[in-house]
């Protein structure tokens, strides 16, 4: 009898251990799937175009605060005679803690978020502000996760660009290895290496000469005379600036003397007044610039002068013959010679030409 009681107690302990293990497993399952709390919950439906990477039991967060989990994922069935809306391709059933029901409103939005770049996906709900709270089994507006789509597209472009860059780098490396191009010749051409070495030697010699005070650069770096000249020039420039600040000289008076400023201002005003009078056609200069009659008269006078000079060139008239007829020139020359001889004889013997006759009546 005692042996039978011991076996019964042993069976009881095994049964209790199994019950405790099942309870621990159940608690673990509820904790892992996000249904670990015993708070009252209600369900909402939302629709998304795709849910790749989302699993049942994934967390549902309201502005970052976990408020439930994904209860079911299924394809939205086609309605007979209706076109399937791509934005409502997948239906999600969300189990939300009832204490957050007042925060999930009709103006809330649900979308998928990826943790990091390639992490797990979860449902993120934007907190409602103005609409009424959603009741159980109501539809929550779903929006597409544009960020991950852009990242994937940009990642594809990045991979393509990296492939192109790698090809270019490979071609460049092959070109350098074959001794082509400037870098290839520098690395593999001995002649280029010798020239580069010679250039470095020349540069080193120039540096040594400059340190020893040789050449123009050496004198510029090592000669105190150039420094003294530069210092003296700087001192004279400082003196010039001091004189200008002391209102000395033409520049100083021009900058600081108000009388000079007033004179320039007055001269400018008179110049502006003169230009205004000219523009208004006043005075001789204004009439010259604005009067059309004066322009017409000057044009006619120029035409007359042109006509006269044309006649003179064509030997028409007395003036034309005077300038162009050689016979008239010879006659004038002979006449001037006879007059010169007559005047000479008159000076030598004026009595020959002056006779006084007296008569008595």
3-state SS of 141-203 is EECCCHHHHHHHHHHHHHHHHHHHHHHHHHHHHHHHHCCCHHHHHHHHCHHHHHHHHHHHHHH
Query: Which structure tokens are listed for 275?
Result: 């230009």
Domain spans in the chain, listed from the N-terminal domain onward: 1-32, 40-144, 153-188, 190-221
Nearest one of 135, 148, 126 to 54, comparing CA atoms: 148
Q: How confident is the model at residue 267 (pLDDT cuts 50, 70, 90)?
A: confident
By CB neighbour count within 10 A (0-12 exposed, 13-18 middle, 19+ buried), where does 192 fall? middle
The predicted structure's pLDDT at residue 251: 78
**Region 89-94 average pLDDT:** 92
Q: Average per-residue pLDDT in the chain?
A: 78
Rounded to two decimals, what is the model's pTM? 0.37
Of the two residues 259 and 88, the one the predictor is more confident about is 88
Are the C-beta atoms of 20 and 112 separated by less than 8 Å?
no
Confidence band, pLDDT 50/70/90 cuts, at residue 1: very low
């Amino acid at each position: 009898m005692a042996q039978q009681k011991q076996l019964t107690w042993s069976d009881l302990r095994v049964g209790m251990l199994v019950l405790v293990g099942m309870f621990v497993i159940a608690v673990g399952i509820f904790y892992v799937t996000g249904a670990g709390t015993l708070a009252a919950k209600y369900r909402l439906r939302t629709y998304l175009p795709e849910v790749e990477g989302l699993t049942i039991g994934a967390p549902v967060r309201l502005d970052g605060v976990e408020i439930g989990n994904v209860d079911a994922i299924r394809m939205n069935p086609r309605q007979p005679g209706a076109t399937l809306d791509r934005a409502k391709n997948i239906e999600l059933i969300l189990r939300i803690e009832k204490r957050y029901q007042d925060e999930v409103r009709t103006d809330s939005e649900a979308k998928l978020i990826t943790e990091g770049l390639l992490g797990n996906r979860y449902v993120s709900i934007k907190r409602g502000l103005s609409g009424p709270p959603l009741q159980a089994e109501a539809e929550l507006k779903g929006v597409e996760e544009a960020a991950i789509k852009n990242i994937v597209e940009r990642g594809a472009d990045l991979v393509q660009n990296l492939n192109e860059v790698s090809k270019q780098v490979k071609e460049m490396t092959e070109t350098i290895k074959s001794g082509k191009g400037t870098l290839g010749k520098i690395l593999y051409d001995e002649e280029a290496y010798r020239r580069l070495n010679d250039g470095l030697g020349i540069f080193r010699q120039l540096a040594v000469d400059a340190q020893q005070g040789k050449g123009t650069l050496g004198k510029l770096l090592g000669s105190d005379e150039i420094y003294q000249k530069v210092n003296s020039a700087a001192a004279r420039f400082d003196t010039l600036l001091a004189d200008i600040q002391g209102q000395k000289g033409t520049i100083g008076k021009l900058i600081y003397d108000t009388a000079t400023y007033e004179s320039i201002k007055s001269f400018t005003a008179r110049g502006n007044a003169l230009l205004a009078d000219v523009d208004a056609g006043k005075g001789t200069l204004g009439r010259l610039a604005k009067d059309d009659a004066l322009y017409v008269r000057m044009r006619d006078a120029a035409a007359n002068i042109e006509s006269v000079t044309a006649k003179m060139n064509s030997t028409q008239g007395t003036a034309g013959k005077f300038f162009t007829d050689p016979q008239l020139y010879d006659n004038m020359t002979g006449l001037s010679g006879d007059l010169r001889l007559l005047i000479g004889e008159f000076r030598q013997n004026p009595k020959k030409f002056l006779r006084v006759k007296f008569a008595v009546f």
